[in-house]
Amino acid sequence: MHDYRHPAEPFRIKSVESIRLLSRQERLRILQEARYNVFKIKAEDIYIDLLTDSGTGAMSNEQWAALMRGDESYAGARSFYRFEKTVREITGKKFIIPCHQGRVAENVFFSSVLKAGDYVPNNTHFDTTRANTQHKGGIAIDLPCPEAATNEQIPFKGNIDVERLESFIEKKGADKIPVVFMTVTNNSSGGQPVSMANIRETSALCKKHGIRFYFDCARFAENAYFIKQSEPGYQDKSIKEIAQEMFSYADGALMSAKKDGLANIGGFIALNDDGLRQKIIELLIIIEGFPTYGGMSGRDIDAMAAGLQEVLNEEYLAYRVGQIEYFGSIIEQAGAPIIKPTGGHAIFIDAGHYLPHIPVDQFPGQSLTVELYREGGVRAVEIGSLMFGGLDPVTGEKITAPRELVRLAVPRRVYTGSHLEYVADCIARITKRKNDLRGLKIIRQAAFLRHFTADMAPLKEEEIKVG
């Protein structure tokens, strides 16, 4: 290891966008107007926005130059062929189908492979992947490795449980499982990486049973970097070689380029199966447009192609992963427990442990999320009982979240080390008076995905139960 606090940004800043911290009084008013739901706060009223790393990254000078090169021809644009060449080189797949974001790739893919009642195993489904599977009548099955739920400091906690996958296939039968997915990195499991060994074993198992094996590969480059860092035999390989080997074990991949595409919009499907490609394209033309532009302008496609090349740069990835690791360490020093080891794109604070006096039905994660805005104009997102709890919209049963987390997602190439130190300082100030934080109650909510729109209010003295 080096003796620097974290790898310094391997870029300098050429264009700046002003951000401002409103006064405390204004922040209190805005929270009240937003009904204590940070999704309803305007971006201009946020100082540091850690809501998501999706589509929020900064483009390089090369990507801005690529925009100018964009070819806006309806069919057969040069932009498409540049993009196709890049994605073919990384994935090794014959057919590259552009889509304007990941969930459209999911929509057209699952519409083309699923029958009602089919199962789709995954290390852990991302929300839109789960929703698209269910929307086409499929049953989404999560099979994370047993270490995923522990706080053990081991690498590759994003792995799939191969033994459970094997017994699942034997129990349900391969004809009920049109595809097995692997999410790299495993977003919903804390951005934890998957090892090459796990990819190889899963691939072999799927091949044995004649089942397709696909990646949900939004963060494939971050995953490749973790393999280089921690898996024996990969230290001397380039990130591109590691990514190519990863993709060589899969039959295809769905990509949201809003993450490791370093683009603000974009995505694709990569595959070798020509019959499936034809089915997908028929649908794509109805939903997204002609298959050489897939719902995007030529300039968007060129920016994505340039981003996909840049993301393979090892200095960039060392900075990216190093920045997240450093961010985790200063948040811990500020007194908040986090999920470890840190993954590739976010820090997850365990708000249930941080605020044990707030019971789960009074939303400790949301209490901390609100406090982060009140304290420092920082926007995070609750991933706990507000997001996942409540009543099941279909069965009416009460659901509880596995953990009460607050996610601080880090946009790519946007915030410097000092921005992150500022956020950690906010946490340190909150830690000093954390026992005074109160829970919240829901005033109004929707049946589906309630966290986006719920109105909330802080609990009054007489409403507070002891946790």
Window 177-236: residues binding ligand PLP (CB under 6 A): 183, 187, 216, 218
- Nearer to ligand PLP among residue 107 and residue 323 (C-beta): 107
86 contacts ligand PLP (rule: CB under 6 A) = no
CB contact at 8 A, 38 and 372: no
- What is the closest distance, in whole angstroms, from the C-beta atom of residue 349 to ligand PLP in the complex? 20
Catalytic-residue membership of 126: yes
Kindly tell me which residue out of 56, 128, 203, 369 binds ligand PLP, with binding defined by CB under 6 A.
128
Secondary element (H or E) of residue 201: helix 196-209
- Give which of 277, 311, 275, 298 is closest to 81, Cα–Cα: 298
Catalytic-residue membership of 259: yes
Cite the beta strand spans of 257-399 per DSSP E: 267-271, 346-350, 378-379, 381-383, 390-391, 398-399
Catalytic-residue membership of 149: no
Catalytic-residue membership of 127: yes
Burial (0-12, 13-18, 19+ Cβ within 10 Å), 329: middle
- Give which of 270, 266, 274, 208 is closest to 243, Cα–Cα: 270
* The one-letter amino acid at 150: T
Catalytic residue among 6, 93, 258, 259: 259
- Nearer to ligand PLP among residue 95 and residue 214 (C-beta): 214
- Nearer to ligand PLP among residue 381 and residue 440 (C-beta): 381
313 contacts ligand PLP (rule: CB under 6 A) = no
Residue 145: count of CB within 10 angstroms of its CB: 24
Alpha-carbon gap, residue 353 to 349, rounded angstroms: 9
Buried b (16+ CB within 10 A) or exposed e, 412-434: bbebebebbebbbebbeebeeeb
Catalytic-residue membership of 451: yes
Window 165-184: residues binding ligand PLP (CB under 6 A): 183
Burial (0-12, 13-18, 19+ Cβ within 10 Å), 169: buried
Alpha-carbon gap, residue 215 to 442, rounded angstroms: 37
258 contacts ligand PLP (rule: CB under 6 A) = yes
**CB neighbour list of residue 117: distance below 8 Å, 6 or more residues apart:** 137, 138, 139, 176
Window 45-64: residues binding ligand PLP (CB under 6 A): 54
Kindly tell me which residue out of 63, 129, 362, 366 binds ligand PLP, with binding defined by CB under 6 A.
129
Catalytic-residue membership of 253: no
- What is the closest distance, in whole angstroms, from the C-beta atom of residue 341 to ligand PLP in the complex? 19
* Cα–Cα separations (whole angstroms), residue 297 to 103, 264, 272, 309: 18, 12, 25, 19
- Nearer to ligand PLP among residue 344 and residue 376 (C-beta): 344
Window 357-396: residues binding ligand PLP (CB under 6 A): none
- How many amino acids of this chain bind ligand PLP (CB under 6 A)? 15
Query: Binding mask 264-303 vs ligand PLP (x if CB under 6 A, - otherwise)?
Result: ---x------------------------------------
- Nearer to ligand PLP among residue 227 and residue 304 (C-beta): 304
Residue range at the interface with ligand PLP (CB under 6 A); choices 42-50, 253-261, 324-332, 381-389? 253-261
Identify the three-state secondary structure at position 267.
strand
Catalytic-residue membership of 105: no
Residue range at the interface with ligand PLP (CB under 6 A); choices 124-132, 352-360, 399-407, 443-451? 124-132
Residue 142: count of CB within 10 angstroms of its CB: 17
Kindly tell me which residue out of 126, 215, 388, 415 binds ligand PLP, with binding defined by CB under 6 A.
126
Residue 452: count of CB within 10 angstroms of its CB: 11
Tell me which residues are annotated as active site.
Answer: 74, 126-127, 216, 218, 259, 451
> Which residues of this protein are in contact with ligand PLP, per CB under 6 A?
54, 101-103, 126, 128-129, 183, 187, 216, 218, 256, 258-259, 267
